[in-house]
Amino acid sequence: MINMIWAMDENQLIGIGDKIPWHIKEDLVYYRNKTRGQTVLMGEATYFSLKGYYKTKPLPYGKIYVASINKDLVLDDAIVINDLIPFIQSFNEDIWVVGGSTIYKLCLPYADRLYISYIKGTHEGDKYFPTIDFSKYNLIWEEESELVRYTLFERK
Per domain, the residue ranges of the chain are 2-155
Tell me the CATH number of domain 2-155, given options 3.40.430.10, 3.40.50.800, 3.40.50.300, 3.40.1160.10: 3.40.430.10
Q: Is 148 left (phi over 0), alpha (psi -120 to 50) or beta?
A: beta
End-to-end CA distance of the chain: 13
Work out the pLDDT band at 103, boundaries 50, 70, 90.
very high
**C-beta of residue 56 within 8 angstroms of C-beta of residue 9:** no
pTM, two decimals, is 0.96
Q: What is the mean pLDDT of residues 16-38?
A: 95
Cα 79–chain centre separation: 17
Distance CA 140, CA 117 (A): 14
Instruction: Give the pLDDT confidence score for residue 56 in this predicted structure.
Output: 85
Provide, rounded to the nearest whole percent, the portion of the chain with pLDDT above 90.
94
